[in-house]
Chains A and B, each alone.
Chain A
Amino acid sequence: MDETLKGGTLYFVMAVIPLMVLLIWSASRIRTAAEFYAAGREYGGLRNGLAITGDYLSAASLIGITGLILMSGYSGLLYAVGFFSGWPIILILLADKLRTIGHFTLADVLKSRFSDSRVVLVATLGYFPVVVIYLSAQLVAMTWLLNYIFDVGYERILAGITVVALVTALTGRMIFSSRAQMIKAGLVIVVMLVMTLLAYDKASSSLSELFSVSYWQASEVATGVVVSEDSPFALFSLGVALILGPVGLPHVMSRFFSVADERRARMSVFYATGAIGAFYILIILLGFLTIHLMGQPDALPADAGNNLVLVELAELIGGEFLAAVLVAILVVVLFSVMTSLILTGSSAFSHDWYARTLNIHKPGWSERHLHRLASSVTVVSSACLALLWQTENVAYLVGLAFAFSASVNVPLLLGALYCDRLTSTGALAGGLAGLAATVAAVILGPLVWGHVSVSNEAPFPWRHPALFSLSIAIVVMWFASRWSSRNNTEGEIER
């Protein structure tokens, strides 16, 4: 065991150093959100589309979904299709609309539409759980991957990563440029392609034969315990969260807002849709190849929350060399997602809300300090959640982050754009209600209650709260708007 570990570690170090250097070299040193928006306007559709792809394709969903497909062919597939299907919807519902109005962030839209600036604060608060949970998914993924290589225990590695993330947050350095994101998107897709081809080669059977085996196993798992773990309503709720969620991811949306005109915005979503679609088709194929090659899930270490299935597969088909290189690439990708999340997430707070909405003109320092504070709080909270949720599947955690964004920021944004009768009070009350409902559902649900309490019975049964909390947000928005008269000073959003 020791011998193999040393070899793997060596390969890992040999692969991770040049990748890191490549990524850092390719990144221009952008420190603030303003610089980032300025840089984004120069890029054309294809470039921006690939950069969006790089932002969106987190390695977390890659390793999470393959694990889920192995465990329960069915819901894993649901994740793959759902993560993709959000893209066309974004294009139709938002791309043109936002570009015609000419706003760049969610805060800009809300500010021009509602007279009450507290609405922006609610949206900012809504970003917080999205960023924290999304980040915790990256941390869980990264910790398991590094633990696979170094094997010194989950907690120690998590602590190490947290320190690195804190340093990143405090110095404000980030690996964040369109070039770096494009390299990242390329790396992930090439890795997927190579893995799929190698796995197919290893399976060395015709497609029909291959799926015939996976069919029996998939149906066995899917019809048994795994599907019944989530009720149909909970699964439907997951499906709703998955298509609405991307709208609330700050690091994806800000890149999308920063293109120069509508044409390019549309083209970049189009290219992003193509690349992301190809990625998820590969995931589906790879997932079922995994079932074929690795058979029943009980052969795997259960404690990793099925997060290491892809790595185990790599070891099976290409030995420890392939596994180590795969881990190296995934870790680098995760690291870059982590830095961009920390930056955009906390700048939603310090820049969009504090500096621009409150209009506080203290040159520089207070905004910067607030930014550091916000990013440190984000990192520490994510690390705590990553400790609590170490056995959860990371694709599921990403889905949970989407549930928050679908119940707070999505109703706010869509309401502001499409619903004339929505008042400030309505938006304020609805946003807060959506936030409170999701938080309550998560804390009382299996995810927190189930982990902390002795009895595993959680008061709120669903693992996917979006349908519940989104309905509450919409109902509260509607009632509050009816009972409050619309303020005359409120801006109209032109159609």
Chain B
Amino acid sequence: MPAYQYSQTNSYQKEYRAKLLIHPEYQRLRMRIRQYRARVAVVLLTCYLSFLFVVVSFPHVLLQPVSAQNPTPWLIPVAITLILLQFLVTGIYVKQMNTVFDEELERIRQEVEVSVDG
């Protein structure tokens, strides 16, 4: 937990929040985070829903064998790839949020904190 949430009085917190919320960089960052999140959500949902759509509407498509030598139906590699892909996207998202965005957020917070103190 960042210290500012507990160490200060209520009025300080109010002022701090008010300053943070109107801080232009903070607003821009929040917008970027929102867009990034929306993009990732769209990617994930597209993957899953298109798989679902194919499975439901054209059940025979994914039962085609991979090749003449290897008669494994496409269904199995596709399903496993889908799971791995989603895991990968989750990893990228978490990394981006936990490093890039969190650091910027922390920097802006400290900036605002300093300006309230001063």
Contacts and interface: CB of A to CB of B under 8 A. Distances in A.
Given A239-B52, A270-B90, A277-B87, A261 B44 contact: no
A231 to B, nearest CB: 9
Nearest to A243: B48
Given A89-B41, A222-B59, A81 B98 contact: no
Interface in A39-98: 73-74, 77-78, 80-82, 84-85, 87-89, 91-93, 96
Contact of A263 (B63, B75, B93, B102): B102
B7 interface: no
Contacts of B75: 73-74, 77, 218
Contacts of A288: 76
A263 B57 CA distance: 40
Chain A at the B interface: SS class: helix
Contacts, number: 125
B18 interface: no
Contacts of A87: 86, 90
Size class of B's contact patch?
35 or more
- Between B48, B53, B93, the greatest number of chain A beta carbons within 10 A of the residue's beta carbon is seen for B48
Interface in A234-286: 235-236, 239, 243, 260-263, 266-267, 269-270, 273-274, 277, 280-281, 284
Contacts of A92: 37, 40-41, 44, 93
A27 interface: no
Interface string B47-80: 0110111011101100101000111110110011
Contacts of A96: 33, 37, 97
A304 B72 CA distance: 30
Size class of A's contact patch?
35 or more
Interface string B14-41: 0000000000000000100110010011
Contacts of A260: 1
A277 B86 contact: yes
A80 B79 contact: yes
A244 B90 CA distance: 17
B21 to A, nearest CB: 8
Given A74-B55, A239-B56, A266-B98, A88 B86 contact: yes
B55 A212 contact: no
Interface string A172-193: 0000000000000000000000
A363 interface: no
B76 A211 contact: yes
Given A73-B75, A80-B79, A91-B94, A223 B63 contact: yes
B31 to A, nearest CB: 10
Nearest to B41: A92
A74 B76 CA distance: 10
Nearest to B77: A211
B63 A215 contact: yes
Given A208-B72, A218-B73, A263-B98, 20 more contacts: A74-B59, A77-B79, A81-B79, A85-B44, A85-B82, A91-B94, A92-B40, A92-B41, A92-B93, A96-B33, A215-B63, A223-B59, A223-B60, A227-B59, A236-B53, A260-B1, A262-B97, A262-B102, A266-B94, A270-B90
28 contacts: A73-B75, A77-B75, A82-B52, A84-B83, A85-B48, A87-B90, A88-B44, A88-B86, A89-B44, A91-B90, A92-B40, A96-B37, A208-B69, A211-B71, A212-B72, A215-B63, A223-B59, A223-B60, A232-B56, A236-B56, A239-B52, A243-B48, A260-B1, A262-B97, A267-B98, A273-B86, A273-B87, A281-B83
Interface of B: 1, 30, 33-34, 37, 40-41, 44-45, 48-49, 51-53, 55-57, 59-60, 63, 65, 69-73, 75-76, 79-80, 82-84, 86-87, 89-91, 93-94, 97-98, 102
Those 8 A-B pairs whose CB atoms lie nearest each other, nearest first? A211-B72, A212-B71, A239-B52, A208-B70, A235-B56, A270-B94, A92-B41, A88-B90
